[in-house]
Amino acid sequence: FLFPGFTHPISPQASAQQVAAFYRDHTARIRYSMILLNWFCVALIPLVMLIVERMRGMAHRTPILRYCMIGVAGAAPIAFLTATVFWLLAAFDPNRAPDLTQLLNDLAWVTFTCGVPFLVAQCGFLALAIGIDTQAEPVFPRWVAVFNVTVALALLPAAFAGLAHRGPFAWNGIVSFWEIGR
């Protein structure tokens, strides 16, 4: 609801003319929602840094998992920011050649959906850190580790969205996103 530029993802099977028409018909909405998404992505960094700071109090006291979290905290927003830039470029000139608009759209969707390994790794690093925190009163409850593993497993199929044009693994499919082939 916050990013109304793409209430439904454009189908990977859409023709260049269909994609270009979508961008012509929704230019302002796409532009504004991508700018909003840019700021949302940047806002994730302090949230993850709060988690990293809390990880300092874990019993294992090794900084390795914290450093890994810092790495993915910087990389994940960059992947999503890159996708929003491609969407902004596609909407920047709605009168350009449809093939170029389609290329930018494809770059954006593949970058956005296939960029999830950073989020999967983030969930994995946190779950591992929680699992090896042996304090009587751990920093994070154990259910947070289970939740992170569940989220990682749910996100994992989206990493392969660039391999399918149709079906559940396409970027608009039920496994990679939320829809059943539009």
pTM here?
0.82
Residues 34 and 91: their CA atoms lie apart, in Å, by 10
The two three-digit tokens of residue 134, written as one number: 């042996």
Q: What percent of the chain has pLDDT over 90?
A: 43
Cα–Cα nearest to 142, from 152, 153, 155, 127: 127
Q: Regarding predicted confidence, which is higher, 147 or 25?
A: 147
Q: Would you place residue 181 in the very low, low, confident or very high pLDDT band (cuts 50, 70, 90)?
A: very low
CB 84 within 8 A of CB 37: yes
Residues 105 and 103: their CA atoms lie apart, in Å, by 5
